[in-house]
Copies of this chain bind each other. A is one copy, B any other.
């Protein structure tokens, strides 16, 4: 078989609609658009939780948040949870990481099982199955030492002084008087990062990816590289020339309506609107300051991807490499009176998803879009299938996108997508006076109705057919009782599915019967020798 590879590109906090191929009126992303022209752009791809950690753990395991249990940033992924890397290594694929995963290791679990965190198995268990070629989560807050973060080491090697050049050079500007302008602060989003373009994170990460590919190609083993950019995630600050490429006149208006802030707004939504980040992003001046930087950071990614795609083409790797471009969630940027992500409006829970399969079988779909209901967990089984494996249904909960790429409409495709959110780590929990186990939201979307189940509260409901901008919450409207019941039934079916039966493949169950039991000498319910003999004769 031809040596095949997967290049799995993820941005962080990139909205689905901030690409020119997705219709952004001012932001040109020609390299990403060219990728879309070579493959399929999925227009209804949803993450399994609209926040980094759990969303990524779903991408990296092919399993829902309720299955992998890593509910929020910093919640360790339990040791033994099967990962994409585990599945691909079985197929002989080198599965490596350059960039961010947001993984926290389950040190207690490893200790209980006697696994040395520095052993090969221990490192993989600590890095959600990836070989950490370059792990860099792209957040180096002041006051912490990050001895393992390679990007800071790179900056130091280039002579950028200070304890934390990530913050003081790549993510700060400099005032005329020489004082630092901290890029964590939204007011400084229009500043020029002190480090030049080439030394900021996106180009560095891209170069590291090329370095990995060079190295992996020398080995002639198939590889899967997760190239995981921290940007356009905050701190929102870009280097020259990206810091001034866009202006306030290119900031699209916020998707919002005064009705959303009414007194009878859903209590959980209301509490999120009350967070500092939401209050600030509800200000037009904040949007006008931040969004140009956000656009600049995306433009920088597009430029870097242009270099990377040229590099692949030069090596003829474009002919054997399946390429995915996606994000871990979106960014409200003031839409719906919110900042950050965390809730289930399209701008937060829907992500860009472009898949290029270089195989001739996929020629018919190049440059098309597909509006099937897709989940982030579908990538893991897609990769497994691309490398010739069979995705284990009892472990991996997503479904391979291969049929769509080949222009086939699979039978029995899912009719609903699901996403979950645990808000116990948000101040929202305190505002609402809830215990940690009560802070849960569940989204069910069937392509028209978006139902949000909020235990302890009434549900939310949006009709994306009549209200595509999601401005009108119908969850309290008795006229929609029937829809609410139907959506709740779909949620129950999903919740009751197995999420943990990971040790027993379907095929082994299918092969079992009372006849097999009889052969094994387990004689349940036979009356006498005659009955037993008759059953044995029938075997």
**Interface bracket on A:** 35 or more
Chain B nearest Cβ from A264, distance in angstroms: 23
In the complex the two chains form, is B286's CB within 8 Å of A527's CB? yes
Give every chain B residue within 8 A of A386 (Cβ-Cβ): none
Partner of A504, one of B75, B119, B492, B529: B75
Q: Which residue from B503, B509, B510, B520 sits with its C-beta under 8 Å from A76?
A: B503
Could you say which of A94-102, A182-190, A238-246, A467-475 contacts chain B? A182-190
Q: What DSSP secondary structure best describes chain A's contact surface?
A: loop
What's the least CB distance linking A423 to chain B, in Å? 11
From B79, B115, B280, B524, A234 is in contact (CB under 8 Å) with: B524
Greatest chain B CB density within 10 A among A112, A276, A281, A501 is at A501
What residue of chain B has the Cβ atom nearest to residue A79's Cβ?
Answer: B80
Contacts A528-B187, A529-B185 known; A500 to B499 CB distance under 8 Å? yes
Given contacts A108-B503, A114-B119, A491-B492, contact A184 B523 (CB under 8 A): yes
A141 to B524, CA, bound (A): 11
Pairwise interchain contact B76-A524, C-beta atoms closer than 8 A: no
Cβ B455 vs Cβ A496 within 8 A: yes
Which A residues between 151 and 209 are near B, CB-CB below 8 angstroms? 182, 184-187
- B492 and A527 within 8 A (CB): no
**Contact in complex: A69, B527 (CB < 8 Å):** no
- Quick check: which of A3-11, A345-353, A436-444 contacts chain B, the rest being far away? A436-444
Say yes or no: is A478 at the interface (Cβ < 8 Å to chain B): no
B interface footprint on A478-503 (CB within 8 Å = 1, 0 otherwise):
00000000001001110111111111
Contact partners of A537 in chain B: CB under 8 A: none
- Please determine whether A340 and B525 come into contact, CB atoms closer than 8 angstroms: yes
Which of A16-24, A369-377, A424-432 faces chain B? A424-432
User: A66 interface residue, CB < 8 Å from B?
Assistant: yes
Q: How far is the CA of A448 from the CA of B121 in the complex (A)?
A: 51
Quick one: CB contact mask for A504-517 with B, threshold 8 Å, 1 for yes?
10100110111000
Q: Is A498 within 8 A of B80, CB to CB? A: no
Q: Which residues in B have their C-beta under 8 angstroms from that of A492?
A: 488, 491-492, 495
Interface string of A354-370 (1 = CB under 8 A from B): 00000000000000000
17 A-B residue pairs with CB within 8 Å: A66-B496, A113-B113, A113-B121, A184-B526, A185-B527, A185-B528, A185-B531, A186-B527, A275-B514, A280-B526, A340-B525, A424-B509, A437-B498, A440-B498, A442-B496, A491-B492, A492-B492
| CB-CB nearest 9 A-B residue pairs | A277-B525, A141-B521, A69-B500, A495-B495, A80-B80, A184-B523, A187-B528, A76-B503, A114-B121
**19 more A-B residue pairs beyond the given contacts A78-B503, A186-B526, with a C-beta to C-beta distance below 8 A:** A66-B500, A72-B504, A75-B503, A80-B109, A80-B113, A113-B115, A114-B115, A141-B520, A141-B522, A276-B525, A422-B498, A424-B509, A425-B512, A430-B513, A436-B510, A437-B506, A440-B498, A455-B493, A500-B500
